[in-house]
A = this chain, B = another copy of it.
Amino acid sequence: MSNSYEELSNLITEKINKLNFIKEPESLYIPVDYCLKNGGKRIRPLMTLLGCKLFGGNTDDAVNAAIGLELLHNFTLMHDDIMDEAPIRRGQPSVYKKWGTNTAILSGDAMLVLAYNHILEVPEDKLKAILEVFNTSITEVCEGQQYDMDFETRKIVSEDEYLNMIRLKTAVLPANCLKIGAMISGNASEEDIFNLYKFGEYFGLAFQIQDDWLDIYSDEKVFGKKTGGDILAKKKTWLFIKALSKADDKLKKTLTDAFYSDCLENNEKISIVKSVYNALNISNIAIREIELYFNQALSYLDKINVDDEDKKPLRDLAKGLMNREY
């Protein structure tokens, strides 16, 4: 009997909304509660449950780990928002903006420990192996964030470097959520776990490049915010890096002059950068790249030794996320 991913998603949302983290000192825990309850797609806990279910595991065994992984994700957001000076998170003031840097640091730290507390609830014979994966996930997300910050002050970032950065910062966590779910099931071979991890990793790469694409080419009404934010933030996205690598000297100059300008008006800046992207056909090249990674992800899913029918919720989730418009 296979739940749809929507059913499991509702289960997760319900569980998370029932959690109560608020205790003394409230100034430490209210921001934890605020950050976690402030929505989000809950992709990571869902992947944990789906990874477990794929191999016939009982999702009840994976719920605490799933919540732990969502807490971990939100911890990284709370700290990243300080570093990125991001005032808004999911349409609401970020913790850093609402309560200040110190609160976002310390409540983030407390949140990470809460994540570990939830991971401790996995079956004890799997605890050490799962913690090793959990620790690796956090380390890699930190490394990805560090590369991202390092790239801000560099003029040149190669496509490979960019891909490695988003792999660490974005792709490994969902991949490890799937892996931890599969480990909890107790029924997955090492080979299957490897293939499931690679599915998650390639999916994560596709997802992030799509994120870069949506920032420029999405429908603003559906996207829910103005496009071009990455350009204004001088973020070296996949599109920018690809455009730089394909541009001749003249286009390169037009692109970088506009991109790094501190004088151009916002709309004009976005318009120039976009015109270079269009001249280089970057939108289509990006779409092809997204499809390439997405298909690679699906090919790893195909390899896993379980009935195709059991892969449906995971395939549906991945396809649903790739068809998003925001």
Q: Is the interface of A mostly helix, strand, loop or mixed?
A: helix
Cα-based distance from A39 to B25 in the complex (angstroms): 32
Q: With A82-B101, A82-B102 in contact, do A120 and B112 touch (Cβ < 8 Å)?
A: no
Within 8 A of B (CB), among A148-168: 149-150
Contact present for A27 and B150 (CB under 8 Å): yes
Contact present for B143 and A25 (CB under 8 Å): yes
> Quick one: closest B residue to A25, CB to CB?
B146
Within 8 A of B (CB), among A229-269: none
Contact present for A109 and B106 (CB under 8 Å): no
Q: Which B residues are CB-close (under 8 A) to A79?
A: 105-106, 109
Contact present for B106 and A120 (CB under 8 Å): no
Q: With A120-B131, A128-B124, A147-B25 in contact, do A142 and B110 touch (Cβ < 8 Å)?
A: yes
Q: Mark A106-117, 1 if CB is under 8 A from B, else 0.
A: 100110110011
Stretch at the interface among A45-53, A58-66, A132-140, A176-184: A132-140
Query: With an 8 A cutoff between CB atoms, is A95 at the interface?
Result: no
- Report the interface size for chain A: residues with CB under 8 A from the other chain: 33
The smallest beta-carbon distance between A172 and chain B, in angstroms, is: 13
Q: With A83-B105, A105-B105 in contact, do A139 and B110 touch (Cβ < 8 Å)?
A: yes
Query: With an 8 A cutoff between CB atoms, is A290 at the interface?
Result: no
A83's partner among B102, B116, B124, B143 (CB-CB below 8 A) is: B102
Q: With A25-B147, A109-B142, A150-B25 in contact, do A116 and B102 touch (Cβ < 8 Å)?
A: no
Q: Which B residues are CB-close (under 8 A) to A83?
A: 102, 105-106
Q: Which B residues are CB-close (under 8 A) to A135?
A: 113, 116-117, 120
When all copies of this chain in the complex are counted, the total is: 2
Query: With an 8 A cutoff between CB atoms, is A28 at the interface?
Result: yes
Q: Which B residues are CB-close (under 8 A) to A116?
A: 116, 131, 135
Q: Which B residues are CB-close (under 8 A) to A147?
A: 25
Cα-based distance from A223 to B82 in the complex (angstroms): 36
Cα-based distance from A116 to B115 in the complex (angstroms): 13
Query: With an 8 A cutoff between CB atoms, is A145 at the interface?
Result: yes
Contact present for B105 and A27 (CB under 8 Å): no
Q: With A83-B102, A146-B25 in contact, do A109 and B127 touch (Cβ < 8 Å)?
A: no
Cα-based distance from A145 to B108 in the complex (angstroms): 13
Q: Which B residues are CB-close (under 8 A) to A27?
A: 146, 149-150
Contact present for A149 and B110 (CB under 8 Å): no
Cα-based distance from A41 to B98 in the complex (angstroms): 38
Q: Mark A5-44, 1 if CB is under 8 A from B, else 0.
A: 0000000000000000000110110000000000000000
Interface residues of A, Cβ cutoff 8 Å to B: 24-25, 27-28, 79, 82-83, 101-102, 105-106, 109-110, 112-113, 116-117, 120, 124, 127-128, 131-132, 135, 138-139, 142-143, 145-147, 149-150
- Can you list the 10 inter-chain pairs with the closest CB atoms, starting with the nearest? A28-B146, A83-B102, A110-B142, A25-B146, A113-B138, A113-B139, A113-B135, A109-B142, A116-B135, A117-B135
